[in-house]
Structure formats: C-alpha cells, structure tokens
Amino acid sequence: MRYFLELGYLGSPFYGWQRQPDRPTVQQSVEQALATLLQEPVEVVGAGRTDTGVHAAYYVAHADFARPVEDAEQLLYKLNRLLPVAIVAHRLTPVAETAHARFSAVEREYRYFVEPRKNPFTQAMRWQYTVPLDVGRMNEAARCLLETDDFTTFAKLNSNNTTNRCSVRRAAWERGTEGELRFTIRADRFLRNMVRAIVGTLVDVGRGRYTAEEFRAIVAARDLSLASTGAPAQGLFLSDVRYPPELFERGVARTRDFADTKTLFY
Amino acid sequence: MRYFLELGYLGSPFYGWQRQPDRPTVQQSVEQALATLLQEPVEVVGAGRTDTGVHAAYYVAHADFARPVEDAEQLLYKLNRLLPVAIVAHRLTPVAETAHARFSAVEREYRYFVEPRKNPFTQAMRWQYTVPLDVGRMNEAARCLLETDDFTTFAKLNSNNTTNRCSVRRAAWERGTEGELRFTIRADRFLRNMVRAIVGTLVDVGRGRYTAEEFRAIVAARDLSLASTGAPAQGLFLSDVRYPPELFERGVARTRDFADTKTLFY
C-alpha cells in the first residue's frame, strides 16, 4: 500500500532531507517515527533533496506500508507527537502504486526571504541583508529566467545532473509592508544549488553591481564562475510540489495557511 | 552620561536576562558588546528580570557611559553587528541621571501565545496546546484580575517580593485568524512567575477544568498551591515598558512593527 505524506519542516536542526550516517536528517526522523508506529521498517522517498538548513513549508514523500492504514488521523496524531518539534506531518493519503513523490512531480516552487533589518524572531528563516535593494531592477532581470531553459550558470560543479534544462514558469520578487522581500520561483525541476545561486546573483543586481542586461548575459554565458555567491540556506523554503491531478492533489497545509493570513505574530 | 537602550531578544538561547557565572544571558551579552565598543567596563541595568527562555519583543535597559556618545546611530549599527543574532538594539537615547530602567518604570505589558497546532516555524515562540479552549470563558475569568490587587495565588514560593500587590489594567485573550490565542496583560508591576501561573490557570478554565467563578475563588484564596502549573517559558514575551513621559518615551520598535502588520511570513 503506497501513501503520500505531506510534511513541513524547519531546516535549522537538520543536515538536509536525505539520510546520512550519524547526522540528523528529516528523512531519517520520519522513517524512524513511522517504523516505531507501524512496527515495521519503513523507507520514505522524498520529492527532492533539500540542503542543510533549507526549510520546507510544504513537502511530499511517499512510503509503502505492509498493511493499509485503518485510521489515518490517529496515525498522524501519533506521528506528530513522535516527530521532533521541527517537523509537522499534515496529511496521509493512499495513492496508486505508480505514484512517486519524486518522479511523478511536475512542478516545484521555492520561496526565498530577505529581511532588511535585524530581527531575532525571524532570523532563523531569513537572510538579513541591510544593503538597500532595487526590487524593480531585480524583477526586470528575473524576467529573463522565463525565457531561457538552460540553467548551467546556476548549476553546481560536479553535480550529477544529466541535463541543466529547466522550464521556469514564475520568477518574481515582492516587497512586504515592513520592507521584507520574497522571491517566488516555480519550475518543472530545479538543479542543485540553483535557487540560492539565482537569488545571490539577483541581489547583486538589486544592490547595483549588475544591470538587468548584464544579468541576462550572465545567464546566457552558461558559465558557473559568473554566478554570485549563493544566498544563505536559512532564507530558502521549498513551498510547493505539484503532481498530475489524477495522481495526487495537495491538501490544505497548515504551515501555508499560517503564512498567508494576517496573524498575531508576537 | 546615562542612556536608555531599547532592545528586543529571542529568549531561547539565554538563561534569562540577568548575568550569571558561566551561562549565556542577555545582560552579559549586552554589557560585553558595549564594553568592547566603548573600551570601558559597562554595567547595564534592565527593566526587569526575564526567566530562562522568555522573550522580549520590547525591553529597556540603562547604562552610564564615561563620555557622551557622539553618533548614536553608528554605535547602534556596530552594536547590532557585535551582539548575537538573538538580540537586537533599536535605539539609544540620552536621559536624565535620575531615570532608572527598573525603578522609573510605571507600567509593563506581557503577551502570551498559545497555538492549537504543531508549527515548526513558530514553535520556539508558542505554547503548542492542542486541547480546544473556550476563549469567552477565559476572558470572563480574566476580568476578575482587574478587580483584585493581591496576586499571592500567582506568586512564587520563597521569592523575595516585599509585597504581592499589583494593579492589573488589562487582561484579555484574543483569537487570531488561524486559531492562535494571544493573552495581553498590563500592570504597574509583576511578581516573578505571575504571568505564566495566570496563563496556566486560565488555560485550565478554557479547557473546562474550572469555571470563571472557581477561578475567582482561586484568586481570592491567596494560596499558591491552587494555581495551575505555569505555562511554558517559550510562549511568553515582555512586550512593553512605560515610563513617565517627561523621563522617557518609547521609540518605534521594529520587532513590534513586524508583528502588528500583515506580513509575508514564509
């Protein structure tokens, strides 16, 4: 019996998603909690690897259980009690045996946050960057990401990607009421390191180091050495994973609800 | 030359405000950073002690410097770079020699947050409490706090308070759009442990353990053993300290601005 598990996690305490010997990871935490509850070894396959310190406001993993789950709500309740505070399980849904958390995904979305001031309450989830940034210019530059499909400039050296082709469907910066910036990028797939390298280079556009035209030339050059230093991990959230609707539809994720509404923050 | 320093801090990494041998505290961090910048020993006097893990969205401390500060903005900038990420310095203001961060304060405000669901992104700043709570009942009970001035029930045993009298001017729960609860309490002074003991007992009202009438009787009994277990430290924020306006007026505190407006949270 295959299930999709919708999750959210704070990346700070983990060495990324993927299981590693002797280091805490999200995958290992989820597998261990499920194995304890189901009394059987469980392997969990994630929608993608997130790096050390990167968060997931939304994440999907699949697992095969020996027996069907009788009461998914009760299992979720117990799972949330057993998992570390930094991981929340939102929903457990039976899916077709052919549904695969990683290979069936057709679109992913990441968000990156830049905060212009020191803030102790959000610092674990923001890049605190005090140099003023020109958002208009950053958006002008970001538009060229929609017009290319070769992201070699933002790939990682020696990564084992078979291709550097991605189809970016959205790439835009927004400014919040307190001056904080949010970058949203959606694509069919992402290369390792890609979002942080794009953000780092766009921030260099925003501060005036490059023009939008120069950014376009950097992308077109397909040269890794031209990308700026990657933006720090703690500002990055995986925020969506989409599947063909006949395979799986996203449930209501509480971490998203919290974020998208006016809330009593402190 | 006496200065008031307006601060904010995340309590999680600290053993409270007050200096302690061999343990990180907010006071020690601020004193050390100022001493480094001013090249002189600095003693900082805080508006009050916050316990281990309690946050301050707003805090005031005073310090006497040997020489007047020539460029307060530049000192603040350097101070914020030197302080840990969990502490932010908002403003440095010269005051009269008679102004005292603790003894001149005429009113303080605390806020306590309860969140009904697991949320990895806010867990360090909330009491995650999943039992449904009746806010109407909690507010009905809280009203009696405005009508008494003896808070012995919520005092800590063996604390060296000379009196358990406090004048509470506000005590109310609000519910946010995502079901999260915020308790705001204002008074001329607070006893050690008082807010967390009040919150713990009001939550017992909200879950149905006590009626509002029973809560009133618990308060009137002036018996420490009747208070419920104190609510956990991580949900508590000191949120305001007020002085007579001729001595000092609060500046714009950025942590408050961030909280009170609709913001791009993730």
3-state class (DSSP) for residue B113: strand
pLDDT for position B259: 42
Q: Which of A87, A174, A265 sits opposite B258 (nearest CB)?
A: A265
Q: In this prediction, what percent of chain B has a pLDDT beyond 90? A: 84
Please give the biggest Cα pair distance in chain B. Answer: 58
| Cα A22 from Cα A27, distance rounded (Å) | 13
Q: Are residues B120 and A8, on separate chains, in Cβ contact within 8 Å?
A: yes
In this predicted model, what pLDDT tens digit does every residue of A78-125 receive, in sequence order? 999 999 999 999 999 999 999 999 999 999 999 999 989 898 988 899
Question: Stretch B6-27: mean pLDDT, rounded?
Answer: 96
| Cα A214 from Cα A196, distance rounded (Å) | 19
Cα–Cα distances in angstroms (integers) from residue B23 to residues A103, B42, B54, B85, in the given order? 49, 18, 15, 17
- Whole-prediction pTM: 0.90
In this predicted model, what pLDDT tens digit does every residue of B121-164 receive, in sequence order? 888 899 999 999 999 999 999 999 999 999 999 998 777 778 99
Q: What are phi and psi of A108, to 5 degrees?
A: -130, 155
CB distance B238 to B54 below 8 Å:
yes
In this predicted model, what pLDDT tens digit does every residue of B84-118 receive, in sequence order? 999 999 999 999 999 999 999 999 999 999 989 89
With cut-offs at 50, 70 and 90, classify the pLDDT of residue A266: very low
Known active-site residue A64: no
Nearest CA in chain B to A110: B266
Q: Are residues A120 and B256, on separate chains, in Cβ contact within 8 Å?
A: no
Taking the mean position of all CA atoms in its chain, how far away is CA B17?
Answer: 11
The residues, ordered by sequence, that sit 6+ positions from B180 with a Cβ below 8 Å of its Cβ are A263, A264, B113, B114, B115, B116, B126
pLDDT for position A253: 54
**Chain A partners within 8 Å of B265 (Cβ):** 258-260, 263, 265
CB distance A237 to A111 below 8 Å:
yes
pLDDT for position B113: 92
CA distance A258 to chain B (A): 6
In this predicted model, what pLDDT tens digit does every residue of A132-149 receive, in sequence order? 999 999 999 999 999 999
CB distance A56 to A9 below 8 Å:
yes
**Chain B partners within 8 Å of A176 (Cβ):** 263-264
pLDDT for position A263: 39
CB distance A232 to A11 below 8 Å:
no
Q: Are residues B265 and A259, on separate chains, in Cβ contact within 8 Å?
A: yes
With cut-offs at 50, 70 and 90, classify the pLDDT of residue B238: very high
